[in-house]
Amino acid sequence: MKYENVVKAKKANKFTLHIPSRTDNLEIIRDFVVGIARKFGFENEAISEIELAVDEACANVIKHAYRYDDRKHIDITVETNSRKMTITISDQGRGFDPLSLESAEERLQKHARGGLGIALIKRVMDEVSFNIDPGRRNEVRMVKYIS
Amino acid sequence: MSGFEVMRRDNQDVSVLFLKGYLDAHTYPHFETELQRLVDERRYKIVVDFRELHYISSAGLGVFMGFIETVRENAGDIKLCSMSQKVYKVFDLLGFPTIYEIVKDDAEAIGRFEAPMKSSQL
């Protein structure tokens, strides 16, 4: 593993992962966020929701933003404070218009096999926002509050 | 090496696929291949058993959507069983229980294929 792929703890409450855009790295990405969420004190259900949301966001980057170009990288930042975890996933690939996405219900009615990831993210995280600047920096930011 | 495995067991005209590990954007093609094999063999009565599947994402759920129409057009179905709460929740979040029959275990799922025939014989 190259140095840049190594998980770095910049300070106590901020962690970053810079990792090649490949589907076989999704397991590493999930383990990374699950480990932090568990240490932070989330219960199992919330940990599973965070795991799913981050997986979906990164799978979208690999498939849509970078179109399976494994020379590209995904940046994942996890920040925690006393009451919430904020996860930011960013790429420099093709952007998308989050407002143009069909709802999960529309996708299901069509028996469509994709396009469900963003719907899942919105359902399991407390806050989700997008900052899309194609080719420069696309960012999905999601927040989970600890109860 | 892979974090995902599929084991198949045929029970007369019903085929049961036992999933193990995690089903995500990396491993779903393996599952897709196994379902395609059943369709190629014209075995349309399919049960998917999740008892050893620990994780699923929308990429895994999408596989079912790719086959359900073909299977039902051929008088078959894909029935799901033995899900952990964690896996069931992902299906539930997207409304899948309205499209797919999800039951307790593989015996019950297989029985659901047999039940309509029995009632028609009465």
Angle made by CA atoms A13, A15, A19, in degrees to the nearest 5: 170
Q: What is the pLDDT of residues B44-59, one digit of tens each?
A: 999 999 999 999 999 9
Nearest CB neighbour to A111, from listed B26, B57, B68? B68
d(CA A125, CA A117): 12
The pTM score is 0.88
Residue A69 has pLDDT above 50, yes or no: yes
B:1-40 residues touching chain A, CB 8 A cutoff: 3, 22, 24-26
> In a 3-state reduction of DSSP, which class is residue B105?
coil
Cα dist. A77→A23, A28, A50, A131, B57 in Å? 18, 14, 13, 15, 21
ipTM: 0.89
- Alpha carbons within 13 A on the beta-carbon side of B6: 20
Inter-chain residue contact A55 with B99, CB threshold 8 Å: no
Q: Look at residue B114 in the predicted model and tell me its pLDDT.
A: 80
Residue A5 has pLDDT above 50, yes or no: no
B21: left (phi over 0), alpha (psi -120 to 50) or beta: left
Q: Do the beta carbons of residue A3 and residue A57 sit within 8 Å? A: no
Residue from B57, B41, B44 nearest B3 by CA: B57
Inter-chain residue contact A111 with B69, CB threshold 8 Å: yes
A–B CB contacts, 8 A cutoff, strictly below: 62
Q: What is the pLDDT of residues A32-63, one digit of tens each?
A: 999 999 999 999 999 999 999 999 999 999 99
d(CA B93, CA B97): 9
Within its chain, how far is the Cα of A85 from the centroid?
13
